[in-house]
Amino acid sequence: MDEMQEKIVGIGGLPRSGKDTLAEFFMERGYYGFSFGDYTRTFTRKRHQDDPNPISVENMTETSNWLRETYGPDVILQAALKEFKEKQAAGEDYKGLVLFSLRAPVEADWILAHHGSLVWVEASDEVRYERAMQNLRVGEGRITLNEFRRQEALQWQPQPGIPPESQMNIAYIKQKATLVLENNGNDMEAFKREAEKALQLS
């Protein structure tokens, strides 16, 4: 399963930075997409079902760390690769694989070891907060900007009491990125055009 012939792209960034938008860009061009965030969100809804805001960033972080500590640091990566291989075995053909909402060092390392591209999408706290409050998912609640920042801080560096390799560490993802794209505007089509140019996909 670890041998990959297809092009691989990884996408990282903080919540509401535009990771999904960039992933859609690749999927529109024939890539198979797998969202690490959606995978984690499914478990988070069950794990925190009694919380008024079950899929808060804080709960997502806790669940992501629990998954990796319980089932291995690469548990979500392996789920993505398994799903991709199953699609191929069923006769589906893709130009490549785009993995988005990366959070753990093992995910970035695997992509780079397989000669993939690692893209970081950058957007300011204020812009991302505004997007989040205007587009709340079911299971998310309204919070202040300070609380938004506090919850996100849990993802930047490994937390005490859990092996570092099992935790979210998006600082590592950003550090290892081969390309950084800024997305502080509201014109998503312009963002896609910028990405197309920077990634030389036209």
**Domains detected in the chain:** 7-184 (3.40.50.300)
E strand residue ranges, the chain: 7-13, 31-35, 96-100, 117-122, 179-182
Residue 20, pLDDT score: 93
Residue 97, pLDDT score: 97
pTM for this model (two decimals): 0.92
Question: Residue 25 in contact with residue 192, Cβ under 8 Å?
Answer: yes
Integer CA distances (angstroms), 178 to 58, 98, 108, 118, in order = 28, 15, 10, 5
Among 89, 90, 87, 97, residue whose Cα is nearest residue 35: 97
What 3-state DSSP class applies to 9? Answer: strand
What 3-state DSSP class applies to 80? Answer: helix
Residue 130, pLDDT score: 96
Residue 2 φ then ψ, to 5°: -80, -15
Name the pairing type of β-strands 117-122 and 31-35: unpaired
Residue 33 φ then ψ, to 5°: -110, 140
Per residue in 124-176, pLDDT (tens digit) is 999 999 999 999 999 999 999 999 999 999 888 677 888 888 888 999 999 99
Among 97, 148, 155, 100, residue whose Cα is nearest residue 124: 148
pLDDT in tens, the chain (202 residues): 456 678 999 999 999 999 999 999 999 999 999 999 999 999 999 999 999 999 999 999 999 999 999 999 999 999 999 999 999 999 999 999 999 999 999 999 999 999 999 999 999 999 999 999 999 999 999 999 999 999 999 888 677 888 888 888 999 999 999 999 999 988 888 888 888 888 876 5
